Amino acid sequence: MTSAATDSVQPGLDEARRPAIAAMQPGECAGRDRGRSSSRPIAERAVWVRRFGRLVAADTDHLASLAEAEIAKPAWETLVSDVMPLVAACRWHARHARKVLRSRSLPGRPFWLIGHRVRVHRAPLGRVGIIATWNYPLQLLGVQLVQAVMGGNRVVVKPSERTPRTQGRLLELAMAAGLSADDLEIRRSDREAGAALLREPDLDHVVFTGSTPVGRRVAEACAERLLPSTLELSGCDSAIVLDDADPVLAARTIWAGLTLNHGRTCMAPRRVLVARSLASAFAAAIVPLATGAAPRSLADDAAADRHRSLVADAVARGARQISSESPTDDDRVRAQVLIDCPTEAEAFFSDHFGPLVVTAVFDDEDDLLRLHRVGGKHLATSVFTRDPQRAERLAPRLGSGIVTINDTIVPTAHPAAPIPATGDAGWGASQGIEGLLAMTRPLVVSRTGRLRPPSGEPDPRSLDFLRGLVRWWGRGGSPPPTRRHDPN
């Protein structure tokens, strides 16, 4: 973390709880026992998460100004796509985490385990490392931090090198809400600090959000030491417009998802697959939205150059471009819709990170699935139809972790909903109920009372009885056949 993060501190926080962020270095915690979790009871963790949510909400303007300075994110987008989902997650975990993590007795005990009781508890993982991303600097890091802490873990965070001040401020608020330097450790924000974090010997789990190529390197580093991980990586997601959809609603919603956060969203639509009967109507609805779109900033000049090269390649292969690209060589590009893009164009299957979407026409469901499966990075798929049951039936065939019907992105902010990554989009679940459970491990505890089945090898008569009992049990409870045991 850079010193700029500490310079952004405003008055009003408890000075005693502010960490010496700038002085922290990788490997500071060497010598700690692996697997040592937080000693805070869950009631105390719930108090912390309530305070954290309140501090984030109260600090919205300052957080938004930092995000705008670092990644050109408009203040209103920081409010609705970062602060609001994070505060909602804090409130949800304060109310529901205890119930999600409570111990449970296992039902359905078989007859031969008479006298045994089995309960499953949720135990902390120990020490969780979070390598943070920058595009939603408050929401993504904030929810991951909340879930790791609510799971009873100690946490070490490597902020993104693109948003050190924004995420530095968020972590200061987490400390001010009641975390100690033992609960939360903060590393530098440069890339080398991420690699150093993966080498720390007492990590029990790593959470990484970022691109698929970098995610592969993280996975390789974790595999060397059998270190479990949660990876939320790139997507190349489809928006599907079925033949009974409202083309105007579909166009407006897809455009909003495409341009949210300047197109820097892993779940943003990258291609629109339109039923042939609605292709003209959909194009007529989205063309006015794309025409003359204002330039938007991407991550850097390289991302903008890739955006422009993808557009040029697709147009050269026959796609129709709606709006002309702005003549610039910096990080600003126009949001682009490319109509009738050939599948061999890289823009059709690439996992780029900007406001670019292509369209293609399908004739039937088999044709739709063939086009949808090009690329294979399915994180969130949108389906537009006037018949939600039709979309429900289609959803299991899409291979995505998330399917939204008549919407994009927004419903995934429900605080109980997980983001389950599959395939090249990553693995594991973050956020929601499954994300909270993933920050713990099941601990099975059995208790045997005074009444218990006999142990050791049964005598021949007892063994014969057991055979008949198993046959009776296997038939669903029908009486077993009666037969006298003949020892000869």
Residues in the chain: 488
- Smallest CA-to-CA distance from 353 within 305, 412, 319, 422 is with 305
Say whether 78 sits in a helix, a strand or coil.
helix
SS3 163: coil
Max distance between CA atoms of the chain, in angstroms, equals 97
**Contacts of residue 449, Cβ cutoff 8 Å, sequence gap at least 6:** 115, 116, 117
**Residues forming a β-bridge with 129:** 156, 206
**Rounded CA separation 378/420 (Å):** 10
Determine which one of 90, 222, 236, 266 is catalytic.
Answer: 266
Number of C-beta neighbours around residue 110 at 10 A: 8
Q: Are 260 and 81 in contact (CB under 8 A)?
A: yes
How many alpha carbons lie under 13 Å from residue 143 in its C-beta half-sphere? Answer: 33
Secondary structure of residue 243 in the 3-state scheme: coil
Task: Look up 232 and say whether it is catalytic.
Answer: yes
The single-letter DSSP state of residue 479 is: P
Contacts of 169 (CB under 8 A, 6+ apart): 5, 8, 9, 59, 62, 63, 66
- Angstrom CA distances, 40 to 143, 189, 233, 275, 412, stand at 19, 28, 32, 55, 30
Q: Known catalytic residue: 266?
A: yes
In the block, residue with structure tokens 């892993």: 266
Catalytic: which of 172, 185, 200, 232? 232
Pairing of strands 402-405, 419-420: unpaired
Catalytic residues: 232, 266
